[in-house]
Amino acid sequence: DEAVAVQHLLSLFDIEVDDLRSILATSLSLKQRLAAGDRPSILDRRVIALLFQKPSLRTRVSFETGMAQLGGSSLFLGEDVGWGKRESPADFTQVLGQFVDAVVCRAKKHEHVELLASFNAMPVINGLTDLCHPCQAMADVLTVRESLGGYKDKHIVFVGDGNNVAQSVALCTAMLGMRFTLSCPPDYEMDTDWLARIAARYPKARIETVTDPHRAVAEADAIYTDVWTSMGQEAEMAARRAAFANYQVNEKLMAAAPRHARVLHCLPAVRGQEITDAVIDSYQSDVIRQAGNRMHAQKGLLVWLLNRKWIDDNISSD
Contact region with ligand NVA (CB under 6 A), list: 15-23, 161-169, 243-251, 279-287: 161-169
Binding-site partner at residue 57 among ligand CP, ligand NVA, none, CB < 5 to 8 Å by type: ligand CP
| Site mask for ligand NVA (CB under 6 A), range 70-109, x = bound | ----------------------------------------
CB count in 10 Å sphere of residue 43: 25
DSSP string, 141-161: HHHHHHHHS-STT-EEEEES-
> Residues 57 to 96: which contact ligand CP by CB under 6 A?
57-59
Does the active-site annotation cover 266?
yes
Residue from the set 6, 17, 267, 269 that interacts with ligand CP by CB under 6 A: 267
Does the active-site annotation cover 7?
no
Does the active-site annotation cover 38?
no
CB count in 10 Å sphere of residue 261: 22
Which residue lies nearer to ligand NVA by CB, 29 or 53? 53
**Residue 113 interacts with ligand CP (CB under 6 A): yes or no:** no
**Residue 128 interacts with ligand CP (CB under 6 A): yes or no:** yes
Does the active-site annotation cover 106?
yes
CB count in 10 Å sphere of residue 310: 16
- Judged on CB neighbours under 10 Å (0-12, 13-18, 19+), 281 is middle
**Residue 225 interacts with ligand NVA (CB under 6 A): yes or no:** no
Which residue lies nearer to ligand CP by CB, 59 or 307? 59
169 within 8 A of 155, measured Cβ to Cβ: no
Contacts of 66 (CB under 8 A, 6+ apart): 295, 296, 298, 299, 302
224 within 8 A of 198, measured Cβ to Cβ: no
Which residue lies nearer to ligand NVA by CB, 172 or 266? 266
Report the largest interatomic distance among the alpha carbons of the chain, rounded to a whole angstrom.
62
Cα–Cα distance measured from residue 138 to residue 176, given in angstroms and rounded to the nearest whole number: 11
Known catalytic residues are: 106, 133, 136, 226, 266, 294
Residue ranges that bind ligand CP, judged by CB under 6 A: 56-59, 128, 136, 266-268
Residue ranges that bind ligand NVA, judged by CB under 6 A: 128, 163-165, 226-227, 230-231, 266
